[in-house]
């Protein structure tokens, strides 16, 4: 039985942040806060903290690709936004990095 070596580790290069509204969120309050949320989010983009931003297609919310690698820094940055301060949006943070299987192209397994 051939032993498959573990995938090599890769660095975290960005954080994927998915922001959604918890059930029961007052969407009228969200609409009231939204102009300042958009302004501050655009400022984070212009400062280079947000690399890409998207709307979720299946529900109200956003997906950001953050130019940070520290989970606590990402959390603090997002919680400082108006919807975060008002506890109206919650974020799931996922560290992401280079595609691990690509290393197999560079270091193919030796034939047995």
**pLDDT tens, N- to C-terminus, the chain (112 residues):** 556 666 667 888 999 999 999 999 999 999 999 999 999 999 999 999 999 999 999 999 999 999 999 999 999 999 999 999 999 999 999 999 988 777 777 766 666 6
Is residue 57 included in any domain, yes or no?
Answer: yes
Q: Determine the pLDDT at residue 98.
A: 87
Q: Give me the half-sphere count of Cα atoms (radius 13 Å) on the Cβ side of residue 39.
A: 5
Is residue 63 included in any domain, yes or no?
Answer: yes
Query: Based on the structure, what is the number of domains in the chain?
Result: 1
Q: In 10 A of CB 13, how many CB atoms?
A: 13
Is residue 6 included in any domain, yes or no?
Answer: no
Is residue 7 included in any domain, yes or no?
Answer: no
Is residue 65 included in any domain, yes or no?
Answer: yes
Check which CATH number belongs to the domain holding 18 and give it. Answer: 3.30.70.1060
Residue 74 domain boundaries: 14-97
| Spatial contact of 15 and 69, defined as CB atoms under 8 Å apart | yes
Its pTM stands at 0.82
Q: Determine the pLDDT at residue 104.
A: 73
Bridge partners for 52 per DSSP:
65
């Amino acid at each position: 039985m051939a032993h498959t070596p573990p995938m090599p580790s890769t660095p975290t290069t960005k954080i994927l942040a998915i922001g959604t509204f918890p059930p029961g969120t007052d969407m009228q309050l969200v609409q009231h806060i939204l102009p300042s949320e958009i302004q501050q989010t655009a400022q984070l983009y212009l400062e280079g903290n947000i690399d890409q931003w998207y709307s979720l297609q299946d529900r109200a919310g956003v997906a950001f690709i953050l130019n940070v690698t520290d989970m606590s820094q990402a959390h603090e940055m997002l919680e400082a936004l108006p919807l975060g301060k008002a506890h109206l949006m919650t974020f799931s943070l996922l560290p992401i990095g280079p595609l691990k299987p690509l290393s197999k192209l560079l270091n193919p397994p030796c034939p047995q």
